[in-house]
Amino acid sequence: MNDGPQGFRDDQHPATTIAWPSGLTMAASWDEDAVLEWGKGMGKEFYAKGSNVQLGPGLCLARIPRNGRNFEYLSGEDPYLGYRLAQPAIRGIQSQKVVANAKHWVMNNQETARDSVSEEVDERTRYEMYYPPFEGAIEAGVGSFMCSYNKINGIWSCENPETLKHDLKEVLGFKGYVMSDWGATHSTSIMAGLDNEQASADWMDDELISAELAAGVTTQAAVDDSVTRILWSMFSVGVMDEPVSTWDFINLTKNVTSDVASDSARHLSAISTVLLKNDGAILPLPKGKRLAVIGKADNKAIVHAGGSGSVVPSFVPWPLDGVRGAAGQGAKVEFNDGSDTEAAAKLAQAADYTIVFIG
């Protein structure tokens, strides 16, 4: 298995995979066919790198604007949008014989104090607002879920019997397995609905599970159910149909980028860019004019966020270069990064048009 929700993260071999558009970018497309293409493209690279589980897509709702992981999540602010888009994303990834991982279950809506916060959410709100994107994933046959760091109504997400065992598995009918986020396990939680601990075995090693079986705290039936769920995901997606060499660690060293994949990522990014307003038909800008470009448009442009969702791109076309290339013959393109607001304002006043990059 490997990170992450918008492409294969390989910090050991940077620039050997495509930095695909983020989940939130794809949500802005409102395009199921585009999301299917996105899923297939990512899944193909995971397969080529020898990874049979993609730790994505991220599906949580954007409930807190400053949440550091909003960029990862495919649902935006709309549970129905998440429900619809989760399905082609899962189908696309798993069409490449790679198990998708729907995360983070559930109510993982902030990074601040994520290891201690308790999300207080009643049953109706959970089912109407937070569960629909994950329901879409289940309907698409997703093989795995990842439970989150936070507490839910005072109980850790990865040992919460109400949200894991009851809601997810019994009510929503999820057939696959639940893994913990890295270090999010606080007990041997098999009876509560957790099937797999990541990335260590602090709570789910042979000795602890054997001791709980002997004491009657954990049942053999629950252990068997966890094993069955893990195997079901691998067999249903087709992981076990492939030669063992497909999943060899040596494949990690491969450069799996291609012109086709790069063009797809560029296309998906473009169709996800939404024009909300065009007062006075000001766009497209005429060529050959004096243009002021202000803000993070040079090599400081933010093209990807960090953490498990980061991918080192093989190439980045900086926005400033794009403006210069499209400005036309006779155009004058001047740049200010915005750190000197007085100079930036003067530049904007002198220009025919000003393009501002914010964020």
Q: What is the pLDDT of residues 262-294, one digit of tens each?
A: 999 999 999 999 888 999 999 999 999 999 999
Using CA atoms, how far apart are residues 198 and 149, in angstroms rounded to an integer?
A: 12
pLDDT of residue 329: 95
pLDDT tens digits, 233-250: 999 999 999 999 999 999
| pLDDT at residue 125 is higher than 90 | yes
Average pLDDT over residues 59-63: 96
C-beta neighbour count of 233 within 10 angstroms: 24
**Alpha carbon distances (Å) from 261 to 36, 89, 257:** 14, 16, 7
Q: For residue 161, is the peptide bond before it cis, meaning its omega torsion is within 30 degrees of 0?
A: no
Mode of pairing for the β-strands spanning 177-180 and 144-147: parallel
| pLDDT at residue 37 is higher than 90 | yes
Using CA atoms, how far apart are residues 351 and 332, in angstroms rounded to an integer?
A: 9
pLDDT of residue 302: 85
Which residues are designated catalytic? 181
The DSSP output letter for 272 is T
Using CA atoms, how far apart are residues 189 and 197, in angstroms rounded to an integer?
A: 9
pLDDT of residue 304: 83
pLDDT of residue 339: 94
